[in-house]
Amino acid sequence: MKPLVDCRLYAFVDTAYLRGRAPEVVAQQLCDGGADLIQLRAKKSSPDEIRRMAEVILPITKRARVGLVINDQLEIARETGAELCHLGQEDFFDAGHKHVSEFKIQNSKFKIGLSSHAPEQAKRALAAGADYLAIGPVYATGTKPTAKPVTLEYVRWAATNINVPWFAIGGINLENLGDVLAAGAQRVCVVSAILNAPDVAKACAEFQRRLE
């Protein structure tokens, strides 16, 4: 996979948006469209189901040299050979963890990203050694309907204060992407604007074109 600093488009195989499509089919479309990272997010699936999905998606992402991120399930990420795991603040800090090095094998390339919804959380995640941060939700989003938008103000703060790769996330689409980039973002996570598009690969390619 590309170094995180060179990744621009972070896409998702989110089971809430598959609408009957096979996860591996969507993963292939995302790869074909030029996604740099793909997160497997399956909030309502059992660990066994997530493991099975990861095992069929990984050969596709590895062939395309795209990093696969497993959401929440750290052990599954490590066991299957996924390159990254993404954790929320509550999954990490509320569980008593202090530093991502707790999860890393010496000389391992395995990476961990953390969510953040405010500057204080971002500072805490940086101190914990996160390899990348997710900044958001920038706008209201159906993916997390109860989350209060952090607005472009937090994106501007991130642009001047965060020294690891970070991705703006939450309600980002082709209409508001220009505003997000103007606020200082160089990387974005996109869920529904790609997964709900008539042509997933084409939507991916258009985001990537705009990001470049």
Query: Looking at residue 108, what is its pLDDT?
Result: 77
- Quick check: helix, strand or coil at residue 87? strand
The domain made up of 4-211 has a fold known as: TIM Barrel (3.20.20)
Interval 47-87: pLDDT, tens = 999 999 999 999 999 999 999 999 999 999 999 999 999 99
Query: Looking at residue 39, what is its pLDDT?
Result: 98
Query: Looking at residue 158, what is its pLDDT?
Result: 98
Tokens of 23: 């996860």
Interval 151-210: pLDDT, tens = 999 999 999 999 999 999 999 999 999 999 999 999 999 999 999 999 999 999 999 999
Interval 3-53: pLDDT, tens = 999 999 999 999 999 999 999 999 999 999 999 999 999 999 999 999 999
Query: Looking at residue 107, what is its pLDDT?
Result: 60
DSSP string over 117-180: SSHHHHHHHHHTT-SEEEE--SS--TTSTTSPP-HHHHHHHHHHH--S-EEE-SS--TTTHHHH
Domain parsing of the chain, residue ranges: 4-211
Query: What one-letter code names the amino acid at 75?
Result: E
Query: Looking at residue 106, what is its pLDDT?
Result: 62
Q: Name residues whose C-beta falls within 8 Å of residue 37's C-beta, 6 or more positions apart in sequence.
A: 1, 7, 9, 10, 11, 66, 67, 68, 69, 84
